Amino acid sequence: MSNVIVHSLLTEFDVNLFKSGKHYRMYDKFGSHLIKVDGKAGTYFAVWAPSANQVSVIGDFNFWTDGEHKLNVRWDGSGIWEGFIPGLKQGDKYKYKIHSNNHGIKTEKADPFALSCEHPPKTASIIWDLNYKWADKSWMGYRKDKNALDKPYSVYEVHLASWKRKIEENRSLTYEELSEEFVAYVKEMEFTHVEFMPIMEYPYDPSWGYQLTGYFAPTSRFGEPEGLMLLIDKLHQNDIGVILDWVPSHFPEDAHGLGFFDGSNLYEHPDRKRGYHPDWKSLIFNYGRNEVKSFLISNALFWLDKFHADGLRVDAVASMLYLDYSRDEGEWDPNKYGGNENLEAVDFIKELNRAVYENYPDTQTIAEESTNFTGVSKPIDLGGLGFGMKWMMGWMHDTLEYFQKEGVYRKHHQNDITFSMTYAFSENFMLPLSHDEVVYGKKSIKGRMTGDEWQQYANLRLLYGYMFTHPGAKLLFMGSEFGQSEEWKFQGSLDWHLLQYDFHSGIKQYITDLNLLYKNTPALYEKQFSNEGFEWIDHSDAENSVLSYIRKGHDVENDLVVICNMTTVIRENYKIGLPRNGSLKEILNSDAKKYQGSGVGNLKAIKIKKSTWHNKSHSADVKLPPLGVVVLKWT
C-alpha cells in the first residue's frame, strides 16, 4: 500500500489549457510544493508522465525505495501523476521512479519543475519553497514608466563561475558574495544591465551552462535559490537590470534529465533528424507537442515572475528555426511546403514572445540569431517573430575582422566597416562582443587588435568608441572592459592583476566613461533602433580611413558628431560638413592621456563656418588623433 495521500493542487486545473499548450504558469501546480493537508505538513508532488504505469517518489526519506510512495494518476487523461506525502520538508532530496508502459522500461528522473537541485555531480532534486522579500520596488516601477526600447542597454555579459574566484579556497564566489563585490563593480563601471550566462542547473561545467537539466532551479554552485534572488535584488537596487541566458533549443541526454523521461520521447522530438543536435550531442525539444510548449513558456515566465528578471537572451535561435541547421543533405527532411524552416519552432517562438510581452511588457526577449531570417525583432502582427532585440552578428564579424588589419591596408576595406549601416535598422540590433569571441583560440578582444602594444590598446579604444556610438544596444563579455590579455578560461578567473598596469586601467576608465556617455546622452539611445537616429557625414573617405556621422535623439540640440580615424596618422584640420551653425565641444576622445593615449585632441571649442562641405550647409575643421575616435557636441 502506498504511503501517499490522494490530494490535488489541480482541482481548478484546466486540462484543456494544458493539452492545448496555453498553460503558462505550470510552476504553480507542478513539481513539489510544501503544503498542509488535514493539518499535516508535508509535500505535494505533480509530474507529467503519460507513458507511465507507475510513478513513485524516492528519496532519503524512504532510502530510495521504489514503490513505497506511489503517486496517483489523474482521471482526466492528462498523464499527470500526483499525491501528498506527509512529513516531507524543505531540504529533503528526491527523484521520480517511473515504470513505463513501453517494454517495461524504468527511469529515475529529477523533477523537471524542481526549484532546487543537488550540487553536481550529484543529481537529486530538493524540496524547496521560495521565500524572499524583495526590495526592488523602485526599479520595477522605473521599468514600467519607461518605453522598454527607448533607453540605454549597455550589457555586461558574465559567467559567474569564472568572474572572480577565491584562490585560497579554490572556489567561485557565492551569490551572497557576488551581491556585494560584483554589484559594486558593475555599478562602478556604469553598465546598465548584466547578462548571466545560464544560471539554471546544469551538470557539466565545460558546457558553461548551456546544457540544462534543472530549468526551474538556480544552479547550486553558488548557493541556495534565495541567494540568486538577493543578487538580482541588489542589482536592481543599484539601478542595474538583469538579463538571463535561456536555452529552449536543446537539452542534454543525462540519465536524470528530461530525455526519454517516462520511457518515451516525452520532451524531445521522436525523429532524430529533428530531435537530436549533432553539434552539441543533445536533444531538441518537440515544439509541436503542446504540453512541451506549456513547459517552456511557463519556464520563461517563471524567471520573469519569481526572479524579477528584466529580460531573456534566447540562445541558438537559428538552430531552432531551420530543419537543416548544421546538417548535411539526407540528414534532414523538409517541411510540408518543401522548405527548410521548422514551422513548429516558428509558431512556438511567436507564442513565447506573445506570452512574455502580454504578461511582462516592460521586459525584453533578445534573440541570438545569426542568419538573415526576416523579421526576428519585428512584431508578430507584422509578420515577425516578436523578439525585442536581435544580436548583430554580422557587425561583430565584420568589425573584428577589420580591426585585425593594419592601418595602412584599411583603406581597401572601407566598405567592410561601413556595411553594417546598410542593414542596421532592419532589426532592433544589439552589438555583441560576447563570450563566443574570446574562446577556442580566437584570443581576447585585445589580442585581436593589430600593431605594437601602444597600437593594440589604441585600436581597442577606437573599436569600443565606434561600438558605443554605432546605433544599437551594446554587450561586452567580462574581462573585455579592462583589456583582458588571455582568452577566457571557464575554469579560472579573470586576470584582475592586470589592473595594476596603466594600459589596462586606462581601458577600464574608458569603458566607464563610454557607459556614462551612452547613459547620459539621449542622442545615443533614444533612436538607436531607427534610421532617424543616424546620419552619415562621410562614409567614403577610404583614402584616409575616416568615418564621420551624426547621432540624433528627440531633441536636435543634443545631437552628437562622431569621427573615427582608423589609422596612426594624426589629421590636422580635418574638414567635415555639418547641417547647422554654432560651435562644437569635444566631450570624449579615446586618445586622451587618462586612457593612456597620446593626448592629441581639440582642447578649445571648434568654430563652425558657413561653408558648404559634404553636401551640408556648414563645415568645421577638427583635429583627429591617431587610431582615435572623437565625440563632439554642439554648444
List the catalytic residues: 315, 368
Q: How many helices (H) and strands (E) does the chain have?
A: 13, 31
Q: Which residue has the cell 540590433?
A: 429
Peptide bond into 626 cis (omega under 30): no
Measured CA to CA, the distance from residue 269 to residue 260 in angstroms comes to 10
Beta carbons of 535 and 549 less than 8 angstroms apart? yes
Give Rg (Cα) of the chain: 27
Contact present, 195 and 244 (Cβ < 8 Å)? yes
SS3 content of the chain, % helix, strand, coil (to 5): 30, 25, 45
Q: Which cell goes with 217?
A: 532551479
Residue written as grid cell 573585455: 480
- Grid cell for residue 22: 496555453
Phi, psi of 427 (to 5 degrees): -140, 170
Q: CA 462, CA 551: separation in Å to the nearest integer?
A: 17
Rounded CA gap, 426 and 420, in Å?
10
Look at the block and give the residue holding cell 568654430.
Answer: 607
E strand intervals along 209-307: 214-218, 241-246, 276-277, 282-283
The span from the CA of 439 to the CA of 225, in Å, is 29
CA gap 396, 420 in Å, rounded: 9
- Cα distances (Å, whole numbers) of residue 571 to 438, 470, 564, 589: 33, 22, 11, 14
Q: How far is CA 355 from CA 30, 152, 244, 314, 363, in A?
A: 19, 24, 17, 15, 12
DSSP letter string, 294-334: HHHHHHHHHHHHTS--SEEEETTHHHHHBTTTT--TTS---
What are the phi and psi torsion angles at 272 (to 5°)?
-60, -25
- Beta carbons within 8 Å of 531's beta carbon, 6+ residues apart: 424, 425
**How many residues are there in the chain?**
635
Residue 272's contacts (CB-CB under 8 Å, 6 or more residues apart) are none
